Amino acid sequence: MAGGAQEMPSDSIALKLANELGLQRPIWLRDGREHHLYRVQSPEGDRILKFPRPDALPDPFDPTRSPLDRLYGEATAISLVRHVVVPTPYRVYRASLPCAVMGIVHGTTPEIALERDRMDQESLMGVCHQMGRTLAAIHSRRRPETGNQ
């Protein structure tokens, strides 16, 4: 992949999805526990391409949800967040493999800051607690089809 430090098995999938969606230059980023993540160029600017990993952990909310439903669930949760920076826009696509393209939240991740000695363990714990509270608030919402949001 252009600019990637190493070739990943998911690179060919990322390239195929990028071509289907009119995106360019997929560059592998760190994978999440459920998705592969690639930085891509879109007509609107840099974005993140996200698609399911075959070895993804089970959905903690509903293990029977399909990868497409998981992405739609995440899009819904992100749309409900207020007063916290989240990746927008967040668009889900029914491509050859379900995927999402989302905006980039600028800045350095806590993981990278710690690796580069720009953050100590105590500060990292504070960031993790704040992120945990935000995620707990997001996950305390009920799915829209239950009528209790």
Residue where the block lists tokens 């050859």: 96
Q: pLDDT (tens digit, 9 = 90+) per residue, 17-37?
A: 999 999 999 999 888 888 999
Q: pLDDT (tens digit, 9 = 90+) per residue, 100-142?
A: 999 988 777 777 888 888 888 898 888 888 877 777 766 665 5
| Best CA proximity match to 48, nearest among 56, 57, 38 | 38
CA end-to-end span of the chain, whole Å?
41
- Residue 1 reports pLDDT greater than 70: no
- Residue 149: per-residue pLDDT: 38
